[in-house]
Amino acid sequence: MNVPRGVHVTRALLLAVLVALTTAVAATGARAETPAGGHAPEAAWVQLGPSGVVLVRAITKASACPKVTLDNATTAMNERAGPRLPDYPVRSCEIAVPPGTKRAALAGRTLRLPRAHPRRIVVVGDTGCRLKAVDGFQACNDPEQWPFARVARSIARWRPDLVIQVGDYLYREEPCPQGNAGCAGSPFGYNWPTWNADFFKPAQDALRAAPWLFVRGDHELCSRAGEGWFRFLDPRPMPTNCQDTTDPYAVDVSGVRMLVMDTAQASDKPPLNPEPYVPQFAALGEMAGSNAWLLAHRPLWGLLPDSTGAKVTVINKTLEAASNNSLPAGVRLVLTGHIHLAEVLGFAGNRAPQMVAGISGTLLLPQITAPIVGTNVAGKKVTAAKVLSRHGFFTFERRAWGWAVTIRDVKGRAMTRCRLRGRSAVCQR
């Protein structure tokens, strides 16, 4: 077809104008999403805290905290902790979400606020990549060997209403040995680059998917990654100094009172240190109500295998002594991490079941082959047991009779299904 030359010129001009307009709009949108100082936040999420508090948190390298939009009002976030060079060249920011708020957005991205009646809960634990000579050097660069980012993507696809992390976020404590390609180039130590590599970057899909409830682990003691814990994740006001013990608090979720207990310093072996925890267990009696879960990092009645899996040790003796192996009548479940296995243990005598969800990233322990059902654990016989040594996460789905609990693999596929009804927990074989 013969087209007059002028038409070709006109089309070319129109195309140039359209490209220019599209580029300008895109640039304007990008500028609108970038906070003061020119930096998009390194991470942003919603988390639950004591007494119904809902917090938006963010970490930024900008010179000021970003602005957040809550419904139709846009306001600057408050600084929680300023940069401390060289280890923490970032600013921690937060703002409490007013009750009744329907929408939240930060840097152009919508944040998931809590549902009124959550029905789908994810539990992860012990998520970081192990770099420590005494325990081994995990291949942090290999998503098959350290699968936490894959777990986080599976969590996002499952679309939970709440994610609970039961402790131990930072495991990269020592430098990767020279010549070890599996972890070459990894940051290490107690600093922002390590926190980002071990938790915030791999968790980003799951952090966007739902509000979170964070539990402190022994890796977050003041002698380890405690500063980062208080800068980023502890839900209470920033303390002047790092604290190795903090008081328990309660969060109400879908008719369940989540009792969050800081057991980071409770020793697994002699010398035991039950004294700080005796008043904490006493306080649980006033907080529990009629339907509660105890969330902690260290188990009360978890099973720790030896190097072969043929023998087990019951932990934690400190918490057993502090609690006298007795919990308030309203506690229906003890939910923890610390042991790098998935465990569901039911007991005789109306004792609350123990679940351990320490399978979401770090090196796993051997599969327990010792007989479990019928054995005595801290004065009660085990009536039902399921133990798995495979990476993944737990899901809880609300049912009329209680909770359907599923232990899922890295891809989100069910490995075993369980029922939590009253103080009974039973899994398929």
Give pLDDT tens digits for 237-247: 999 999 999 99
pLDDT attached to residue 412: 98
Position 408 pLDDT exceeds 70: yes
State phi, psi for 131 to the nearest 5 degrees: -130, 90
Determine how β-strand 162-165 pairs with β-strand 212-214: parallel
Position 6 pLDDT exceeds 90: no
- Tens of pLDDT, residue by residue over 12-69, are 443 443 434 333 333 333 333 444 445 789 999 999 999 999 999 999 999 999 999 9
pLDDT attached to residue 22: 39
pLDDT attached to residue 116: 87
Position 312 pLDDT exceeds 80: yes
Average pLDDT over residues 292-308: 97
Average pLDDT over residues 167-196: 98
Question: Which residues, in sequence order, are CB contacts of 339 under 8 Å at separation 6+?
Answer: 299, 302, 303, 304, 315, 356, 358, 365
Give the tokens for residue 52.
Answer: 């119904």
Average pLDDT over residues 395-413: 97
What are the CA-CA distances from residue 75 to residues 59, 66, 193, 375 (Å)? 16, 9, 28, 57
CA distance 182 to 141: 5
Average pLDDT over residues 184-206: 98
Average pLDDT over residues 146-165: 98
pLDDT class of 10 with cuts at 50, 70, 90: very low
pTM equals 0.91
Mean pLDDT lowest for which of 16-25, 67-76, 277-286? 16-25
- Tens of pLDDT, residue by residue over 221-240, are 999 999 999 999 999 999 99
Q: Mean pLDDT over all residues of the chain?
A: 92
The length of the chain, given as a count of residues: 429
**DSSP bridge partners of 354:** 334, 345
Question: Which residues, in sequence order, are CB contacts of 152 under 8 Å at separation 6+?
Answer: 202, 203, 204, 205, 206, 207
- Tens of pLDDT, residue by residue over 319-348, are 999 999 999 999 999 999 999 999 999 999
State phi, psi for 164 to the nearest 5 degrees: -110, 130
Position 303 pLDDT exceeds 90: yes
Average pLDDT over residues 288-294: 95
pLDDT attached to residue 38: 56
- Tens of pLDDT, residue by residue over 108-149, are 999 999 998 999 999 999 999 999 999 999 999 999 999 999
DSSP 198: I
pLDDT attached to residue 355: 98
Sign of dihedral through CA atoms 268, 270, 274, 275? negative
pLDDT attached to residue 204: 97
Instruction: Give the residue among 339, 297, 293 at the shortest CA–CA distance from 319.
Output: 297
